[in-house]
Structure 1
Amino acid sequence: MEKALWYLIAGTRGGANRARIIRLLDERPRNANQLADELDVDYNTARHHLDKLADHDVIESGGGDYGTLYFLTDRFERNRETFEEITQHL
């Protein structure tokens, strides 16, 4: 997970938005539309970042197709310190 977080947050152009998504989901679960609005990005951009985070087991989805909510995974929670360390370097 540590390598995945470094890649997702510090190693790519979209890392800042991914970090913002993680921060928002830490407050409460949200769907892709809500995240796009709060990040002021296109819906497809938000979906792209959500897909990348889900592919690396940082977030998981719950609910149906429409209005699917996203949550931080237990695996991410066990590696939160790494995330905090990475975001200090941004």
Structure 2
Amino acid sequence: MEKALWYLFVASRGGANRVRIVRRLRDRPRNANELAEALDVDYNTITHHLDMLKDHDVVEPSDHDYGKLYFLTDRFERHAETFEEIAAEVDAE
């Protein structure tokens, strides 16, 4: 999981936006539209990042199709300390 986190947030384009998404989801579950509005990022960009985060087991969607909420996974939460370390590096850039 740690390698995946470094890749998602540092080694690939869009890492800073993915950090922002995870931080918002830590506050509470949200849908893609809420994230797009809160972060002032295009909806399609948000869905792309959510797909990447889902593929790497960082987020999981609810079962509903319309207004689908995204949650942080338990696996990701076990690596929260690593995420904070990575996020601090991304913030410093």
Q: Tell me how far 1:63 sits from its aligned partner.
A: 3.3
- In structure 1, the gaps of 5 or more residues are none
- Tell me whether 1:24 sits opposite 2:46 in the alignment: no
- In structure 2, the gaps of 5 or more residues are none
Q: Tell me how far 1:62 sits from its aligned partner.
A: 0.6
| Partner residue, 2:76 | 76
| Partner residue, 2:67 | 67
SS for the counterpart of 1:60 is strand
- Tell me whether 1:46 sits opposite 2:40 in the alignment: no
Runs of 4+ deviating beyond 3 Å: none
Percent of aligned pairs sharing the same letter: 69
Q: Tell me how far 1:81 sits from its aligned partner.
A: 0.6
Distance (Å, rounded) in 2 between the aligned partners of 1:4 and 1:40: 26
Normalised TM-score (structure 2): 0.94
Normalised TM-score (structure 1): 0.97
Distance (Å, rounded) in 2 between the aligned partners of 1:37 and 1:63: 22
